[in-house]
């Protein structure tokens, strides 16, 4: 079987993989495949995350919850970033560089600035999706199954 080449030259998508991708996208709600609209309402922050993660799958990237803001012990804002958002990996144990690097370790850090905010709007009484930065600094992945989030 001859591979079909995707938008990026570094990855190939076989006919079997293309069929798996098409089948996965077909199972998604049609609204989840559309680009999010500014201030698009959602029933909950979790539902907004699922909708955006599904959309990211159709585009070839994945989202992670970067942080959240609380008010009166209630989450009022969640920041979602591309999985490639960090510039370097975390070092919470404060290990020396030579002690923590492993041979052939691959990270997803790329400094991507893509970011979306899911926040609760009091006046609308619902969660909404807002764009912060919709630009990626890397090529989108033709095989979104490579992200463990999907």
What is the secondary structure of the chain as a DSSP string? Answer: -PPEE-SSTT-EE-HHHHHHHHHHHHHS-GGGGSPPPTTEEES-HHHHHHHHHHHHHHHT--EEEEEEEEETTEEEEEEEEETT--SS---TT---HHHH--TT----------EEEEEEETTTTEEEEEEEE---SSPPPS-GGGSTT-
The pLDDT value given to residue 70? 83
Neighbouring residues of 141: CB distance < 8 A, sequence distance ≥ 6: 8, 11, 60, 61, 147
State the pLDDT confidence band at 6, using cuts at 50, 70 and 90.
Answer: very low
**What are the domain boundaries of the chain?**
36-146
The pLDDT value given to residue 73? 82
The pLDDT tens digits for 84-101 are: 876 666 666 776 666 655
CA nearest to 41, candidates 131, 119, 96: 119
The pLDDT value given to residue 104? 45
Q: Please check the confidence at residue 106 and state whether its pLDDT lies above 60.
A: no
Report the share of the chain in percent with pLDDT over 70: 77
d(CA 129, CA 65): 14
Tokens of 138: 């890397």
Burial class (CB in 10 A: 0-12, 13-18, 19+), 131: middle
């Amino acid at each position: 079987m001859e591979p079909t080449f995707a938008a990026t030259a570094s990855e190939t998508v076989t006919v079997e993989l293309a069929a798996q991708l098409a089948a996965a996208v077909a199972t998604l709600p049609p609204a989840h495949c559309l680009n999010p609209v500014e201030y698009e309402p959602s029933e909950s922050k979790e539902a907004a995350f699922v909708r955006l993660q599904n959309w990211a799958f159709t585009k070839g990237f994945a989202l992670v919850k970067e942080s959240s803001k609380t008010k009166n012990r209630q989450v009022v804002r969640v920041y979602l970033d591309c999985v490639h958002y960090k510039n370097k990996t975390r070092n919470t144990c404060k290990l020396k560089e030579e002690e923590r690097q492993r041979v052939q370790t691959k990270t997803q850090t790329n400094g991507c600035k893509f970011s979306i905010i899911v926040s609760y709007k009091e006046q609308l009484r619902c969660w909404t999706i807002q764009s912060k930065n919709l630009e990626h600094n890397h090529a989108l992945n033709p095989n979104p199954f490579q992200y463990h989030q999907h």
